[in-house]
Amino acid sequence: MARETKGKKTRVAVLMGGPSSEHEVSLRSGRQVAQALDRDRYEVREVVISKKGEWAMPPEALKDETDVAFIALHGTYGEDGTVQAILEGVEMPYTGALRNQSALAMNKFASLTLARAVGYAVPHSFLVGKAEWLRDPHLVWNQMRHYLGFPFVVKPNMNGSSVGVYIIRAYEELHPAMRDIFSFSREALFQNFIEGREVTCAVADHGWSESAFPLPPTEIIPRVSHFFDYRAKYEPGGSYEITPARFPAPMLRRIQTEAVGIHKLLDARGISRSDFIVDGQNTIYFLEINTIPGFTEVSLVPKAAAASGLPFADLLDIIISAALRS
């Protein structure tokens, strides 16, 4: 239960950094959040977690000096339930999805399997572990070629920011891709390549499922890559981002409805951003959900909020209030 802070400023610890491949992006997100928080309402403390997982202030001490943790940690450790478990262990409120829900959302194969089971369109997906790949790469290649056709996509099963995502068109491209993926992930996710338009849609809520509401969908047109990878996401000018997306109003509403449905299905809290591909037949394919989306100066959620007339500081108020209400 949240500690009472009525009549005084809420003390917020912004957690950033962390031991993942997205350490630097997380620092940018965290500092952007800390800068935007309204100083008339909040006392803000920036807490950097090192690449070794060392906290600038131990969680036990943090609990005594702050009221809520704003998690701006991307990728493993921050989005997979690890830091959530640490904070729950010291009974400290925190933003974003709870521990088990974070772990489920971070596991692309598991979340896609759940979404498919309740009727959402998702890519055909196969999970391959490192041992299976090393035992017989040719068998894996032949299976994927048979079931998925060309080209196909391979990515880490549990990672964010499109790190380690490859479009494979030939056998010689697969080995270096798998070597890279298995350097930081235990499992690789293979999917059929879907030709279409990339679109993402954020959803916010006030701390309970039925309060969820969508922000305007954003269409993404990568400039520096063939798809929305790490460079396209975070390099200035790396992609064209059009908000609202260039779809007819009924399609925009469909995308928003899908995003809200995914948010509720996976029991996200405060904020989420779901990524989709819309193919030539107007089928909306769910790709993944991000329970701690980027908050940098080039990130999609702050831009979508601004396009809807919701200032970034007000969006942060909603996210923090959701954590304190739950």
Using DSSP bridges, classify how beta strands 42-49 and 10-17 pair: parallel, antiparallel or unpaired. parallel
Q: How far apart are CA 8 and CA 186, in angstroms?
A: 46
Summarised one tens digit per residue, pLDDT across range 96-113 is 999 999 999 999 999 999
Q: pLDDT value at position 279?
A: 97
Planar angle of CA 286, 288, 292, nearest 5 degrees: 140
275 annotated to a ligand binding site? yes
Catalytic annotation present for 26: no
Q: How far apart are CA 151 and CA 51, in angstroms?
A: 35
The active-site residue, picked from 20, 21, 22, 102, is 22
The active-site residue, picked from 26, 102, 274, 299, is 299
Q: How far apart are CA 198 and CA 219, in angstroms?
A: 6
CB 21 within 8 A of CB 162: no
CB 305 within 8 A of CB 143: no
The active-site residue, picked from 21, 29, 102, 161, is 161
pLDDT band for position 239 (50/70/90)? confident
Q: pLDDT value at position 220?
A: 92
SS3 147: helix
Q: How far apart are CA 197 and CA 285, in angstroms?
A: 10
What Rg do the C-alpha atoms of the chain give, in angstroms? 20
Tell me the percentage of the chain whose pLDDT exceeds 90: 85
Summarised one tens digit per residue, pLDDT across range 136-195 is 999 999 999 999 998 999 999 987 656 789 999 999 999 999 999 999 889 999 999 999
Planar angle of CA 76, 169, 282, nearest 5 degrees: 75
- Per DSSP, 94 falls in state B
Candidate from 18-22, 133-137, 215-219, 263-267 with smallest mean pLDDT: 18-22
157 annotated to a ligand binding site? no
CB 230 within 8 A of CB 298: no
Catalytic annotation present for 299: yes
Summarised one tens digit per residue, pLDDT across range 13-40 is 999 999 998 899 999 999 999 999 999 9
Length of the chain: 326
Catalytic annotation present for 22: yes
Q: How far apart are CA 210 and CA 285, in angstroms?
A: 23
Question: What is the chain's mean pLDDT, rounded?
Answer: 92
4 annotated to a ligand binding site? no
Q: pLDDT value at position 2?
A: 40
Whether pTM > 0.85 for this model: the answer is yes
In order of their start, the domains of the chain are 10-95 (3.40.50.20), 104-121+196-325 (3.30.470.20), 125-192 (3.30.1490.20)
Q: How far apart are CA 65 and CA 43, in angstroms?
A: 10
